[in-house]
Amino acid sequence: MTSNRAALFDIDGTLADTNHLHVVSWWEALRQHGHRVPMHDIHRAIGLPGEDFLAHLLDDDRDGGDDELLSAAHDTLYATYFDRLPALDSAADLLRTLAAAGWNVVLVTSAKDRELDALRRAVDADDALTDTVTSEDVEQGKPAPDPLLHALDLAGAPPERAVFVGDTVWDMKAAVRAGVIGIGLLCGGIPRADLEEAGAAAAYRDPAHLLADLADSPFSTVASE
């Protein structure tokens, strides 16, 4: 008897077109607290958990006591978009197609609970989901493998029978470290070359492109039996 197959998905920038909303929210939160950080640098750091995100962007000798205030400011600003977060084209169809084919679909995200609720409403495919994993469920978030390994446990699948779809280099590095096939999506704004250098086995424009090419994608290399 074979083990389950796991289709693991990031959300921000992968299933929902939200990366640039995060960039603007973080830029304003940082500006309010006296930090001038280029939006390009913020964009490149999207996908890291909050503490790692700030450590990546700010000087090592910064006052870490401001981290909670910065995160709270970002959360407040980003929450103003909750009622209109845009799902990417065919995101729900992709999840439902994989679930119908017998994959256990698990969301793996750094989003906090309220953000995750808003994102799930936007994608509107809860019927296709087996479970979700957030950074609060593990000791270390992406690019550490912990979130993916926890998702594999929930899905009852070994790494060799799993595929992880994400849009950042942190996603692809986490996939490599977890021994999972990584697929990069370009809709998050990160160049193909960067995703492939970080370990992506393939890259597609967006969920619609991946869905159209599903039969020839890395998903097809994981047999159903």
Degrees, nearest 5: CA angle 115-118-123: 120
Q: What structural domains and CATH numbers belong to the chain?
A: 5-18+86-221 (3.40.50.1000), 19-80 (1.10.150)
Q: Which residues of the chain have pLDDT under 50?
A: 1
- Predicted local distance difference test score (pLDDT) of residue 80: 98
Contact 73, 29 (CB under 8 A): yes
39, amino acid identity? M
Terminus-to-terminus CA distance in the chain, angstroms?
A: 8
Q: Which residues pair with 163 in a beta bridge?
A: 7, 181
Confidence (pLDDT) at 49: 83
CA-nearest of 128, 115, 111, 113 to 81 is 115
As a whole number of angstroms, the distance between CA 156 and CA 177 comes to: 18
Q: What is the CA radius of gyration of the chain?
A: 17
Over the stretch 131-164, which tens digit does the pLDDT of each residue have? 999 988 999 999 999 999 999 999 999 999 999 9
What's the pLDDT score for residue 61? 66
Q: pTM of this prediction? A: 0.95
Instruction: Count Cβ neighbours within 10 Å for each residue of 95-123 and write b for 16 or more, e otherwise.
Output: bbbbbeeebbbbbbbbbbeebbebbbebb
Q: Which residues contact 65 (CB under 8 A, 6 or more apart)?
A: none
Task: State the sign of the Cα–Cα–Cα–Cα dihedral 158, 160, 165, 171.
Answer: positive
What local confidence, expressed as pLDDT, does residue 225 receive? 65
